[in-house]
Amino acid sequence: MTPIIIIEDDEKIRNYLGALLAGSGEFNLNASFVNAEEAMEFFQCGLGDPVEIVLTDLQLPGMAGSEFISWLKPQRPDIQIMVLSAYDDADHVFKALQAGATGYVLKNTPSTKLVESIIDLRKGGSPMSSQIARKVVMAFQQQVPYVDAKESLSDRENEVLLWLSKGFSYQEIADKLFISIDTVRTHIRNTYEKLHVRNKKEALRKTGYR
């Protein structure tokens, strides 16, 4: 069974989660804590080495859950951390995700769905309550608008890349465009830099010319 710990200051919720995990037959609850400081000591002394999943609240006495995540994740990049919180506002959500949380589920999630989410996390997924997923999508759409990779290139760079996609050599492209082979190389080098790629295959795939 997968070793897991809980960080939750509400005793009733902590006991509920412990019973839920025990009854799932999927997880072994190694420990549960009322605050992040106790969890830190657990990891610092090596007792947390076998742990694969952390289930934590954000609003904790003392150190906040997001601070604990920021502390733990660099030391254990392999560990999966899922937030279980009553907060669905963007500030809490993105602070936790940026700190290193892999999932974010609300406390009103039905027990069956909660267990499914933790299993999904274990399998490599990033489970999120639907309200949280919507906030992430909206923020992404607002902050990172889609830009066609070809639009970052000049007309000539696109032209060179197009001929390259058809299998023409540098010299053949130079002859067709009436430019020197060195100019072709310069255009290709600039194209790779603009697209943040390392070779022709990556450039063609990113621009859709392949």
- pLDDT mean over 180-203: 91
Overall domain count for the chain = 2
Label residue 173 exposed, middle or buried (CB < 10 Å: 0-12, 13-18, 19+). buried
Mean pLDDT across the chain: 91
pLDDT score at 204: 87
pLDDT score at 173: 94
pLDDT score at 151: 83
Are both 123 and 161 inside the same structural domain? no
Where does the pLDDT of residue 141 fall: very low under 50, low under 70, confident under 90, or very high at 90 and above? Answer: low
Among 112, 143, 174, where does a domain finish?
Answer: 143
- pLDDT mean over 7-33: 95
- pLDDT mean over 70-92: 92
Tell me the percentage of the chain whose pLDDT exceeds 90.
Answer: 75
pLDDT score at 139: 72
Which residue range is the domain that position 33 belongs to? 2-143
pLDDT of 188 strictly over 80: yes
Are both 29 and 130 inside the same structural domain? yes
β-bridge partners, 85: 106
Are both 21 and 118 inside the same structural domain? yes
pLDDT of 187 strictly over 80: yes
Among 143, 167, 197, where does a domain finish?
Answer: 143
Nearest CA to 86 out of 96, 77, 76 is that of 96
Nearest CA to 26 out of 144, 112, 134 is that of 112
Rounded distance, CA 11 to CA 174, Å? 73
Among 100, 122, 143, where does a domain finish?
Answer: 143
* Residue found under tokens 């290709």: 188
Are both 82 and 184 inside the same structural domain? no
Degrees, nearest 5: CA angle 121-124-126:
55
pLDDT score at 182: 93
Rounded distance, CA 100 to CA 48, Å? 17
pLDDT score at 144: 55
Give tens-digit pLDDT for 36-57. 999 999 999 999 999 999 999 9
* Domain CATH code at residue 203: 1.10.10.10
| Cα dihedral across residues 85, 91, 94, 98: positive or negative | negative
